[in-house]
Structures are given as C-alpha cells and as structure tokens.
C-alpha cells in the first residue's frame, strides 16, 4: 500500500495537522448545513427555542426576538453565516430547542456514554477478530477457515439493529442473563458493545487472516523456519509485526462504520449517548442539538482516526 500523501513522509506533525484541518473543515460543513436548516425548516425556529426556554405559554414576543438575535435570524445571510461560524468555533453551540439546556453541556454528558460504548466495542473486536483471524490464517483453506470467513461475510450484511435484537432476544428474554436495555446495570454495556463489535470483528477476521496468510506464504517467513525457528517464534518475530500494519489500517478505515453503528445501537438499547440524542433531535427538529451531536460524532471519529494513524506510524517502519 502506497503512502497516503503520494510521496511525502508521514510524521506525527503531519498527521496531527491533517486531522486538525479535517476537524475544521467538518465543523464548517456541519455548521453551514445546520445554518441552512435553521432557516429552511418550516416553523419559526426562534419561537421553538424560546418556547422551550421559558415555557410555551410564558413566552413573549420580546423573548422570541431575543432568541432570534441569538440565532442570528435577524441578520442578512452572509453576515449571519460568519457569525454562526464564529460561534461554533468558539464552541458556543446554543441551547437545545427541547430542553433549553446548553448544547455543549448535553453533548459532553452524552459523549461519555458513547465513548465507553465505542471503546468497549473496539476492545472486543480487537481481541476476538485478530485471534480468530490468526487461527484462520495459519490454516488457510481448512474447514475452520472457510466457516469463519463465510460467517463473517454473512454477519457483515445484517444491519446492527437486527443483530442487536437477536442478541437481546437470546440473552435477555430467553436466558435472562443480561439486561435488555438502559444503563442501570453494571452489565448493561455488554450487549450493546457486542452488537457494535460484531461487524468490526467480522472484518478484522478477514483482514488478519489475509495478512497472516501473506506472511506465512512469504519468503522471509520460510527462511526463518528453515533457520530453525519454531512456528510460534517465527510468527512472533516476523508475522505479527507485519500483519499488525494492515490490521491497524483496517481499523482506522472502519471507524466510520463504528460511528454509524453507534446511532442504531444506542437507539435500540436506549443507551443515552450522542447517537441516541441525534435521533431524538431529528424527531424534534432541534437544530442546535442536531448540529452539536453530529459535530461531536465527527470530531470523535477524527480523533479516533488520528489515534489509528499514530498507531500505524508506530507499528509500520516503512511509513517513516
């Protein structure tokens, strides 16, 4: 796989700069779309927010006008847009049109839940996936290998929502072993994390298997074996290091899938993270919350991608 920039060596600085630029771009993009949304959606957005803040019946025209100024709806489009951008970059994301609480507060609270879920899912996937993948890769073509690969492919095609449902029915309803939803139990994280991890695991199995297969079939590996190294020694010294690179690259690439899966999984399991909040905000047409949650998810995605980039850099000497 060639270098991403097409010719320039990757350094920590370059990675961080690239990700910061991405974060900036995505913030501008999302905030612009939200800005348009605020003006394009039917109904008086200012009235909505004011009604949430002061109560439907206590809201006055003056209060609505104050909110209108806050949302910059009273200014011409161009200057309003710049002011909007300014607010967003200063992390002033307004107040929710439903709870009247500052969006930043709500989102940071929900972000905690989502991060727990995402990290748990990644942890499960990074443990189970490469493990199974290594086993498949050591005996390519065997029944074990074929079954797992077919299973992985099939599971990838099932939407996370359905998968989660099946897991709830199996483990909560039938076996009463785990809670069906919510965050009350200490084991509440298990089912949502597994649901989110399954798709990732399926892909990791395949990637690890392919990577390991190419390692075991390579010249230097055969050479290491003829030198007298046992299978495990040869694996550890040559195989794992070389297989780690494409695996890490794959994880970096699949982060988008993870973030997207968060929306469905949090909705199903009533997990109060950003994905759950996003769906609610859409139903309520709560533009400040929509903006806040989408931006939070995008920034989370970029942050995790940056970590993945750094990990690749650490592992793969060819990149430097």
Site for other proteins in 208-247 (CB under 8 A): none
Contacting residue, 250, 251, 288, 292, with other proteins by CB under 8 A: 250
Of 88 and 294, which has the nearer Cβ to other proteins?
294
Under rule CB under 8 A, residue 173 binds other proteins: yes
Under rule CB under 8 A, residue 104 binds other proteins: no
Site string for other proteins, 32-61 (x = CB under 8 A): -xx-xx--xxxxx--xx--xx--xxxx---
- Which sign does the torsion angle of CA 67, 69, 75, 80 carry? negative
Directed axis angle between helix 241-268 and helix 274-284, to 10°?
40
- Which sign does the torsion angle of CA 256, 197, 200, 239 carry? positive
Closest CA to 198 of 128, 285, 295, 253: 128
Q: Which residues from 120-139 bind other proteins, rule CB under 8 A?
A: none
Concatenate the DSSP letters of all residues of 36-67 into one string: HHHHHSSS-HHHHHHHHHH-TTT--HHHHHHH
Contacting residue, 207, 234, 235, 251, with other proteins by CB under 8 A: 207
Q: Which residues from 73-102 bind other proteins, rule CB under 8 A?
A: 98-101
Under rule CB under 8 A, residue 170 binds other proteins: no
How many of the other CB atoms lie within 10 Å of CB of 299? 17
Rounded-to-integer distance, Cα 313 and Cα 10, Å: 8
Q: Cα 209–213–217 angle (5° rounding)?
A: 175
Q: How many residues bind other proteins (CB under 8 A)?
A: 104
Binding range to other proteins, per CB under 8 A, among 61-69, 70-78, 159-167, 230-238: 159-167
Under rule CB under 8 A, residue 103 binds other proteins: no
Of 234 and 245, which has the nearer Cβ to other proteins?
245
């Amino acid at each position: 796989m060639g270098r991403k920039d097409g010719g320039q060596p990757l350094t920590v600085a370059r990675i961080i700069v690239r990700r910061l630029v991405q974060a900036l771009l995505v913030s501008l993009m999302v905030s612009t779309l939200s800005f348009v949304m605020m003006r394009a959606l039917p109904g008086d957005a200012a009235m909505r927010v004011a009604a949430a803040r002061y109560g439907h019946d206590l809201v006055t025209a003056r209060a609505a006008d104050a909110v209108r100024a806050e949302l910059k709806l009273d200014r011409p489009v161009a200057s309003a847009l710049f002011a909007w951008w300014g607010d967003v970059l200063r992390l002033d994301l307004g107040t929710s049109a439903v709870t009247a609480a500052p969006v930043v507060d709500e989102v940071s609270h929900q972000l905690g839940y989502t991060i727990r879920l995402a990290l748990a899912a990644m942890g499960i996937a990074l443990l189970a996936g490469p493990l199974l993948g290594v086993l498949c890769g050591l005996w390519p073509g065997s029944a074990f290998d074929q079954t797992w690969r077919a299973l992985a492919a099939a599971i990838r095609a099932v939407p996370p929502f359905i998968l989660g449902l099946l897991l709830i029915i199996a483990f909560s309803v039938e076996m009463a072993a785990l809670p069906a939803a919510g965050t009350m139990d200490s084991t509440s994280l298990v089912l949502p994390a597994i649901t989110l991890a399954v798709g990732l695991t399926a892909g990791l199995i395949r990637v690890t298997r392919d990577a390991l297969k190419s390692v075991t079939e390579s010249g230097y590996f055969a050479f290491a074996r003829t030198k007298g190294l046992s299978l495990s020694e040869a694996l550890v010294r040559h195989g794992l290091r070389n297989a780690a690179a494409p695996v890490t690259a794959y994880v970096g690439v699949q982060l988008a899938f993870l973030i997207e899966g968060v929306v469905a999984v949090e909705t199903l399991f009533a997990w109060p993270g950003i994905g759950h909040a996003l769906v609610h905000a859409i139903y309520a047409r709560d533009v400040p919350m929509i903006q806040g949650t989408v931006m939070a998810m995008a920034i989370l995605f970029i942050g995790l991608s940056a970590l993945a980039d750094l990990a690749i850099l650490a592992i793969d000497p060819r990149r430097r």
